[in-house]
Amino acid sequence: MVRRMLARCDVVIENFRKGVMEGFGLGYESLRGANPGLVYCQITGFGRTGPLADHGGFDLIAQGMTGLLSVTGEGPGRPPVKCGPPVTDITAGILGAMGVVAALYSRGQTGVGQRVDTSLYEAGLVQTFWQSAVALATGVSPGPLGSAHPLAAPYEALPTADGWITVGGWNQVNWHRLLDALELRELVDDPRFATNDARMKNHAALREVLTGRLQTASAEEWLRRLEEAAVPAGPVLSMLEALRHPQTVAREMVVAVEQGGEAVETLGMPVKLSETPATVGRGAPGMGEHSQEVLGEYGFEEAEIEELLRSGVVGSFNA
């Protein structure tokens, strides 16, 4: 049944450990003969080559082995900190999708499909472009900087009297605007902060000065002043605050879908297409909910589907 379906597929995506699909008789080499246009995407822990190709992987393992844990957190001597979201899981999916799109475009030119191979490991490494650049250029591994930037200052989260805000005042234009907004014009001539390079070298002193000033007023007040001065800045929001923010609503990034007979909220589409807009049309399916629908799309007759259900080869949410 599966081979019959795969013979008509444009794309197969799997994330088993290396060798599992081959053990099922569903590896790329065994399928491409019947379907030479097949695009076969494999997302593993470490990729299909190299000394760790046979190892399984999880997001936490990938974050640790790609340096992400070593550059996340508040500073030297503190325990390593995992990025809150599973960034390697998410990024590997995006990399896989982009690889599939590239392979489909190539197939449109040649008629031939191909294997797409990516991993959580590579997804983690690609997230370290700043830190990797520093390490490769200097021979020194950078450490955690909290919310600060490895090459720009001030560019971080800072506390006010009643909450935290983020400030991007690192280039000279925004640095002078920031000083105007904070009424700290005396720092213009301070050699410790005269250039971005100087501010990076004196980051601790810079942070102390800015924090002392920002803690004299509320986050709302400072954000108002920074907006008026055209300094990039924003509040540090909780998840619910972010999900209810007017910008989130305007961009339709929270939508309602039907799930189990009732309306539930979920994230919307993050890419807007002008001519073919995409939508989130329904909630996550129950186990086997669309078995009959999918089999029908792949040319199975009603009697065949009923036999597959009866024999237990496939299940149905509604059976």
Distance CA 304, CA 296 (A): 10
In whole angstroms, give the CA distance from residue 233 to residue 229. 10
Q: Give the ranges where 24-86 is alpha helix by DSSP (H).
A: 28-32, 59-65
Domains along the sequence of the chain with CATH: 2-138 (3.40.50.10540), 155-236 (3.30.1540.10), 249-311 (no CATH)
Integer angstrom CA distances of residue 139 from 136, 169, 174, 198: 6, 28, 31, 21
Question: pLDDT band for position 75 (50/70/90)?
Answer: confident
220 phi/psi in degrees, rounded to 5: -60, -40
317: which DSSP letter? T
Q: How far apart are CA 80 and CA 28, in angstroms?
A: 39
Report the pLDDT value the prediction gives residue 284, as an integer from 0 to 100. Answer: 86
Mean pLDDT throughout 250-254? 98
Name beta bridge partners: 262.
Answer: 259
Q: What are phi and psi of 6, to 5 degrees?
A: -70, -25
pLDDT at 316: 82
Question: What are the beta bridge partners of residue 118?
Answer: 43
Q: Look at residue 272 and tell me whether its pLDDT is greater than 50.
A: yes
For residue 245, give both structure tokens: 């923010």
What is residue 33's predicted lDDT score, i.e. its pLDDT? 93
Look over the chain and give the mean of its residue pLDDT values, rounded to a whole number: 96
CB atoms inside a 10 Å sphere around CB 276: 5
Whole-model pTM: value is: 0.91
d(CA 120, CA 47): 8
Distance from C-alpha of 59 to C-alpha of 301, rounded to nearest angstrom:
41
**CA 134 distance to own-chain centroid:** 22
Does 227 have pLDDT greater than 80? yes
Mean pLDDT of the 54-73 span: 97
E strands within 160-226? 164-168
Residue type, 126: V
118-145: per-residue pLDDT in tens?
A: 999 999 999 999 999 999 999 999 999 9
Region 77-101: mean pLDDT is 96
Is 189 one of the catalytic residues?
no
Residue 73, class by beta-carbon neighbours within 10 Å (0-12 exposed, 13-18 middle, 19+ buried)?
middle
Specify the pLDDT at position 319: 43
Cα separation of 206 and 219, whole Å? 19
Q: What is the mean pLDDT of residues 236-256?
A: 98
- Residue 302 identity (one-letter amino acid): E
- Quick one: pLDDT band at residue 318, thresholds 50, 70, 90? low
pLDDT above 70 covers a percentage of the chain that reads 99
Q: Which stretch of 84-88, 197-201, 261-265, 281-285 has the lowest confidence by average pLDDT?
A: 281-285
Write down the catalytic residue from 10, 54, 59, 89.
89
Q: Grade residue 76 by pLDDT with cuts at 50, 70 and 90.
A: confident
At 317 the pLDDT is: 72
Q: Which residues contact 60 (CB under 8 A, 6 or more apart)?
A: 82
